Amino acid sequence: MLFTAHEIKETVDMFLRHKLDIRAITLGVSLLDCAAATGSATRDRIREKLLRVAGPLVAVGRAIETEYGVPIINKRVSVTPIALVAASARETDLAPYATMLDYVARELGVDFVGGFSALVQKGYADADRRLIESIPEALSSTERVCASVNLASTASGINMDAVRQMGVIVREAAERTATRDGIACAKLVVFCNAPEDNPFMAGAFHGPGESESALNVGVSGPGVIKAALESFRGAGFDEVADAIKKTAFKITRMGQLVGSEAARRLGVPFGILDLSLAPTPEVGDSVARIIEELGIEAAGTHGSTAALALLTDMVKKGGVMASTHVGGLSGAFIPVSEDEGMVAAVRSGALTLDKLEAMTCVCSVGLDMVAIPGDVSESTISAIIADEMAIGMVNGKTTAVRIIPVPGKKAGDWAEFGGLLGGAPVLPVHPFSSDAFIARGGRIPAPIHSFRN
């Protein structure tokens, strides 16, 4: 036998028992050549290009699943930030782009198209402002379109005008989808240091520095890491760190194999592999349960940040050697509603919004899929965003906020988003005002250590 029984069983167990899968293959497509003099002409070009370039994506994904025996959960498309493409036509309402992208997503059979986006970390271009204003309508009238806005970066600082505006936009998007617990906000993420090659939604877009097209891959596997650690109960951190690295290496090798094969069949370059451990609401697919396996009674209690720091870093160290190009977010996601263990931790009172914020200093993204009361003020939402942007800016890492002020619901109520988005208890926020802070506007300057030239 080419492989030992132990090796074969280990691999098969990863897929059958521990829910290992490729979470997403995301085809990034540049739309820079679609900009035309009118909006309708631009949208016609985009529609034609996406249907042509991404046409085979779902079929290729399915063929690889069958042939390799590796599940590929989501097939997705990311595009150039629409604000860049829509700028030349100078329309005021950019929601029709979302309608068109929603149509394209259905035609292609992909679950999401990401890139209804603007990059405003240093300031707004006219089209950026119009795109952001169009977000509530765009997300409440479509199903498969994701929006993102980069509000800050280590190099540019934090655009506090945009932070203030996003508080308003998030509330409005929630209220427009009040009957579905504000689901529009589950498709909206704001970033600091947004990666241009992220395969994961809602934040995926194909950055202006990317090639014509590229296939990016997001692997999953929290269940596999958790299972590997079960053999190391009571062991020292040196051994634990090593176990995570080895497992991450194996998972990543599999992702690299599938990603490069998909890219080859699509005739596009392989972009990056995103090493993120991405949970789902299913039992056995939880990042919180890994933290608990490390010896924490409930995710969110003291020690959770250190546990997550270890996990994130070892996933990177194991994964980086297994892939030609690593990128995207890479680390561990800590969404609340999408992780059964995080939901349980909130319910038990172990996990609060403040502890989540602390954990975002060492996870790969930020405050993710957090439900808060629907009557939280716009300025408080902006202030939550500002805190998260500051963490990303100062630490030179990606941070993000995907927060849902659930209309009509109060702290402790249940918010349901459905499917992979899951559901979560509504978390309380501080009752004190940040109004005057958010009202200032302007830009928080970049930190001193950003000047590396």
Partner 1 sequence: MGNDKVGIIANVSAFFAERSINIEDISQTVLSGNFVMMMMVDLADSTKPLATVKDELTELGESMGVAISLMHERVFSAMHRI
Q: Which residues of the chain form contacts with partner 1 (CB under 8 A)? A: 1-3, 5-12, 15-16, 66-70, 250, 253-254, 256-257
At closest approach, how far in Å is the CB of 3 from partner 1? 5
Q: For residues 5 and 436, which CB has a smaller minimum distance to partner 1 in the complex?
A: 5
Q: For residues 97 and 249, which CB has a smaller minimum distance to partner 1 in the complex?
A: 249
At closest approach, how far in Å is the CB of 71 from partner 1? 11
At closest approach, how far in Å is the CB of 33 from partner 1? 36
| Contact between residue 116 and residue 138 where contact means Cβ atoms under 8 Å apart | yes
Q: For residues 69 and 445, which CB has a smaller minimum distance to partner 1 in the complex?
A: 69
At position 106, the amino acid (one-letter code) is: R
At closest approach, how far in Å is the CB of 249 from partner 1? 9
At closest approach, how far in Å is the CB of 149 from partner 1? 37
Q: For residues 200 and 249, which CB has a smaller minimum distance to partner 1 in the complex?
A: 249
Q: For residues 69 and 441, which CB has a smaller minimum distance to partner 1 in the complex?
A: 69
At closest approach, how far in Å is the CB of 25 from partner 1? 16
Place of tokens 């329309």: 91
d(CA 73, CA 419): 12
Q: For residues 51 and 321, which CB has a smaller minimum distance to partner 1 in the complex?
A: 321
At closest approach, how far in Å is the CB of 206 from partner 1? 27
Q: For residues 91 and 274, which CB has a smaller minimum distance to partner 1 in the complex?
A: 274
At closest approach, how far in Å is the CB of 260 from partner 1? 10
Q: For residues 231 and 453, which CB has a smaller minimum distance to partner 1 in the complex?
A: 231
d(CA 82, CA 75): 20
